[in-house]
Amino acid sequence: MNPEQFVQELSKRNFKLNKNQINQFNQYFNSLIEANKHVNLTRITAEDDVYLKHFYDSITPLLAFSTVFKSSSSLCDVGAGAGFPSIPLKIMLPELQVTIVDSLGKRLNFLQDLIAQLGLKDVALVHGRAEDVGQNSRYREQFDIVTARAVANMAVLSEYCLPLVKKGGNFIALKGPKAEDELGTSKKALSILGGKTAAVKQLQLPQNAEERTLILIEKVKATPKKYPRQAGTPHRKPIH
């Protein structure tokens, strides 16, 4: 998917990019490739692949669950790496208030430079592990939307993300193919942590037909204080 096809595909879905947004994606690509020479940010480096498998892929929650995204929603992206999905979503919705949580300083340094280059406002970077951030009253249950892309299985991911979602808000997991199986094993975790499955959407990326699954979890009640457990525990001992 080259940049022109990217713009056309979004236009078909009633998202018309202006010149500034097109330039921002172009700058994002160039910055990513340049920084990737020094810091391991992505294995995907061909322009067509970055536009499809990073940029377009990151925007799929907005295409699938557009009603969840209000222009001034607060969004927290857990384990964003090189800024996926939050920075493409921010470019699409400039009013979105974004907080990015990542445990690796080098990635956050890249994002800090990127945010400045793209002229993005209302993007906060938090250096820390999701478990610690989820217990911090400044962030706990503060966000309308929490996203995570390819970070861990659903039971673990729910413990990272649901404590950050405010009651009535939503957690969106961006997963690969056949991710509904994970939902079965994460039912207990979702229930304990205050979440309820609202929708599961399977889709194929345009052009290469790679399969993706988007899981929308609604936060229906507050997360008990003991969650998230201390760093490393959710991964070692998922709630089952």
Q: What is the pLDDT of residues 94-131, one digit of tens each?
A: 999 999 999 999 999 999 999 999 999 999 999 999 99
How far is the C-alpha of 209 from the C-alpha of 200, rounded, in Å?
Answer: 18
pLDDT at 150 over 80: no
pLDDT at 191 over 80: yes
Q: What is the mean pLDDT of the chain?
A: 95
Q: Give the per-residue pLDDT at 240.
A: 87
**Do the annotations mark residue 169 as ligand-binding?**
no
Q: Give the per-residue pLDDT at 90.
A: 98
pLDDT at 30 over 90: yes
Q: What are the strands, taking DSSP E only, across the chain?
A: 74-78, 97-102, 123-127, 143-149, 165-175, 195-204, 211-219
- Tell how strand 165-175 and strand 143-149 pair up: parallel
Q: How many C-beta neighbours within 10 Å does residue 218 have?
A: 18
Higher-confidence position of 66 and 184:
66
- Residue-wise pLDDT for 66-102, tens only, equals 999 998 899 999 998 899 999 999 999 999 999 999 9
CATH class of 60-236: alpha beta
Q: Work out the average pLDDT over 196-225.
A: 94
- Residue 122 DSSP class: S
Please provide the distance, in angstroms rounded to a whole number, between the alpha carbons at the two ends of the chain.
Answer: 40
**Do the annotations mark residue 236 as ligand-binding?**
no
Which of 4, 25, 7 is closest to 16 using CA atoms?
7
- Residue 135 DSSP class: T
**Do the annotations mark residue 149 as ligand-binding?**
yes
**Do the annotations mark residue 107 as ligand-binding?**
no
**Do the annotations mark residue 211 as ligand-binding?**
no
Q: Say what the pTM is.
A: 0.96
Q: Give the per-residue pLDDT at 213.
A: 94
Higher-confidence position of 153 and 142:
142
pLDDT band at 156, cuts 50/70/90? very high
Q: Give the per-residue pLDDT at 151.
A: 67
How far is the C-alpha of 211 from the C-alpha of 221, rounded, in Å?
Answer: 31
How far is the C-alpha of 103 from the C-alpha of 95, rounded, in Å?
Answer: 26
Which of 177, 195, 176 is closest to 186 using CA atoms?
195
